[in-house]
Amino acid sequence: MVLPKVGQVAVVGLVSPGDWTPPLLQGTSIDSNKSNEIVVGRLVSDHIGPLNIEDKTYRVMGIAGEDRGEKLINVYNFKIYMDIKDLPDSIKKEMEKRHLLRFIVRSNADPTAEIERFITAITDIEPGVQAAVVNENENYQREKNTRQGVNEVMGYPYKLFLIALINCVNISYLWIYLKGKKFH
């Protein structure tokens, strides 16, 4: 979603906000019993209080982030965390249009149980929902291996430079040797 004055932000819908919340720089986490409460990254809002998103007023309860200094990149800076029931209408319409919802499960306990609980919560909200669970571990491993391959390829210019340097030294020694034979 794009917010004026901020730019592109990621909206994260929490199924059970009491179970997990991002680390907070200030304020409190959201209460699942109250509507329109959000936690935002400090570049979305730097204060606790009201925030308008798509003609709807939300109450910023906390500022998410880790204290790593003002200049350092923080993964929470451009995120908005809210109860999944409070998602903006544009996101709900996009989900309905595509008939697709992708999510990542963060769990301190059992991710499989968290996924099942999530699916149950969603089907309670919308009974016609069908869910398919895809384990992305294989894709993550493939991406990790690809990154390692890219790092290897990025090292080729250095290796080629070293080989060229060694060849220059060898050719110089050969030239000196041949010149020395000429004088004898």
Q: What is the pLDDT of residues 134-158, one digit of tens each?
A: 777 777 777 777 767 777 778 888 8
Position 45, amino acid: S
CA distance 119 to 107: 15
| Spatial CA neighbour of 51 closest among 10, 17, 6, 112 | 6
What mean pLDDT, rounded, does the chain reach? 81
Please, are residues 16 and 85 in contact by the beta-carbon 8 Å criterion?
A: no
DSSP strand pairing (24-27 vs 56-64): antiparallel
pLDDT digits (tens, 9 = 90+) for 56-84: 899 999 999 887 666 556 788 889 999 88
SS3 1: coil
Q: What share of the chain is helix, strand, coil (3-state, %, to 5)?
A: 40, 20, 40
CA distance 62 to 85: 18
Chain center to CA of 23: 15
pLDDT beyond 80 at 89: yes
